[in-house]
Amino acid sequence: MIIKQLSVFLENRAGRLTELTGILADNDINISAFSIADTTDFGILRVITGKPELAEKVLKEQGFAVKITDVIGMIMPNKPGALHHALQILTDNGISIEYMYAFTNGEGRATAVIRTDTPQKAIEVLQLHKMELLKTGDVYQL
């Protein structure tokens, strides 16, 4: 249930993101989800790939600063109040969220990728409350 996410530091310059996606494409690595946060000088790309360990290796070989972190993916209905309900469960159990990003698949379901300092506890709490979690098989390539 824990998903490996890459955090990549990118200089804010034209073509740097294109270079990164080209490296992943050349190594047959699929991108399942991503988020970019930026500052004046650099951005942080958070990306879930089909082959996280290989992605880390090939990106480091090309000079990118990369770190792998553990996240969880929580699946919920794509309807008003669903995210609030899930977050309330986490809050009620003392689980704080460092950051998150979300996406919908267009089929009535949404996924929120959550980074917390207690991922195993978050998984246990969400499962106890019958929340569906993203599985590694949903995003990792064979």
Q: What single letter denotes the amino acid at residue 49?
A: T
Select from 47, 68, 89 the last residue of a domain: 68
| Domain span including residue 85 | 70-139
Domain containing 122 — which CATH number? 3.30.2130.10
- Token digits of residue 4: 């490996």
Beta strands in 2-98 (DSSP E): 2-11, 31-38, 42-49, 65-77
Select from 68, 89, 109 the last residue of a domain: 68
pTM, whole model, 2 decimals?
A: 0.88
What are the pLDDT digits (tens) for 10-57? 988 889 999 999 999 999 999 999 999 887 788 999 999 999 999 999
Q: pLDDT at residue 115 above 70?
A: yes
Is residue 54 located within the same domain as residue 32?
yes
Backbone phi, psi, residue 76, to 5°: -145, 165
- Token digits of residue 77: 């209905």
Number of domains in the chain: 2
Is residue 95 located within the same domain as residue 83?
yes
Is residue 49 located within the same domain as residue 97?
no
